[in-house]
Amino acid sequence: MSIFENAKVLIAGGTGFVGINIIKRMLELRANVRATLHRKAPVVVDDKIDYIKCNLLNMEDCKKIVDGMDYVFMCAANTSGAAVIASTPLVHVTPNIIMNAQILEAAYFARVKKFAFLSSNAAYPPSGDNYVKEEAMFDGDPYETYFGVGWMKRYTEILCRMYAEKLRNPMKTVVIRPSNIYGPYDDYDFATSHVMAAMIRRVVERHNPIEVWGTGNDVRDLIYIDDFIDALVMAAEKLETFEPVNIALGKGYSLKEIMQMIIEIDGYKNARVVYDPSKPSMIPIRLIDNKKAEKLLGFKPKTDIKEGIRKTVEWYREFNGVARI
């Protein structure tokens, strides 16, 4: 039996990509789910979910939502794509630090059993073509373009460690460092989406030409959302000490390779792709070592990149009513 069965579980960020998918999983595990709303309406509509509209920049709201909860998944964040990070980096720093610090403190005083925080592989320093391991996080600054958001994630990890190890009555915290997640319910708005979602949308909607920012030579580790949720649940169930862990596919692909796979899988004949090296290109190469997750959690991703793309393309077409032409 899962620890989440009949437990009171808060998902902060209930309309975001990870939040939506963890809500669906918690319902399957028969948890009593509470989820936060901010600007958007609920995506998962179910009488079993207690939705609370709130602003996590407000401490009183943070106290209200964690009250009586057993477990907290902190999935809420101010996020966006490369253009916004490059042009207005503080939008990812100040509000996120405030939200993270306040909900951690509120959860601690509410005597929450365990708090799970989603960190980021963007917080790692440059690692070249090496598979980056968890212990490398503080070996240097993050990439310059991710300096602000990377240190914001690092600072929140330090807070998680403090609550887990440095207080008289500690609160168990779980820190997950995902690679690039993709799949159903991702953000497909071009103004705020990450590269995988943007490429899938452009192919499905038959853009001509298909425009891709950067040279196409950037390398990413991409993990399908269902696999990531498997690992997130495993980590929240099994980790009892502060032990940050990477969750990744464990293999990298260039954006050109990924684009070609999307085009072939969706059957876009004579597609023309134009790469724009003048646009922001954030991290040239990022490979993630996932051996610790396998050792501590018994986690191995089940979905290879082509199967994940196929599932995502099918979902996008059905969810948005896009017919194949």
Q: Which of 113, 222, 244 lies closest to 177, judged by CA? A: 244
Specify the CATH number for the domain of residue 74.
3.40.50.720
Q: Which domain covers residue 101, as residue numbers?
A: 8-320
Rounded to 5°, the CA angle 188-193-198 comes to 65
Q: Give the Cα separation of 226 and 139 in Å (integer).
A: 31
Q: How far is CA 170 from CA 108, 159, 160, 212, 245, in A?
A: 8, 12, 10, 46, 20
Q: What's the pLDDT score for residue 322?
A: 75
Q: Say if 25 falls within a structural domain.
A: yes
Q: How high is the pLDDT of residue 279? A: 78
Q: What is the pTM of this model?
A: 0.95
Please indicate, yes or no, if residue 1 is contained in any of the structural domains.
no
Within-domain flag for 158:
yes
Q: What is the mean pLDDT of each run of 10 residues along the chain (325 residues)?
A: 96 96 98 96 94 97 98 87 64 91 98 98 95 98 92 97 97 98 95 90 96 92 98 98 98 97 96 88 90 98 98 95 70
Pairing status of strand 273-276 against strand 210-213:
parallel
Please indicate, yes or no, if residue 263 is contained in any of the structural domains: yes
Is 3 contained in some domain? no
Domain count, the chain: 1
Helices 94-109/147-161 angle, 10° precision: 10
Is residue 254 assigned to a domain? yes
Measured between alpha carbons, how far is 78 from 145 in angstroms, rounded to an integer?
A: 16
Burial class of residue 64 in the structure, from the number of CB atoms within 10 Å of its CB (0-12 exposed, 13-18 middle, 19+ buried): middle
How is residue 285 annotated by DSSP? B
Is 225 contained in some domain?
Answer: yes
What confidence score (pLDDT) does residue 85 get? 63
Q: Are 305 and 222 in contact (CB under 8 A)?
A: yes
pLDDT at 81: 55
| pLDDT of 325 | 62
pLDDT for the residue 83: 58
The answer to whether residue 2 is domain-embedded is no
- For the chain, the first-to-last Cα distance in angstroms comes to 46
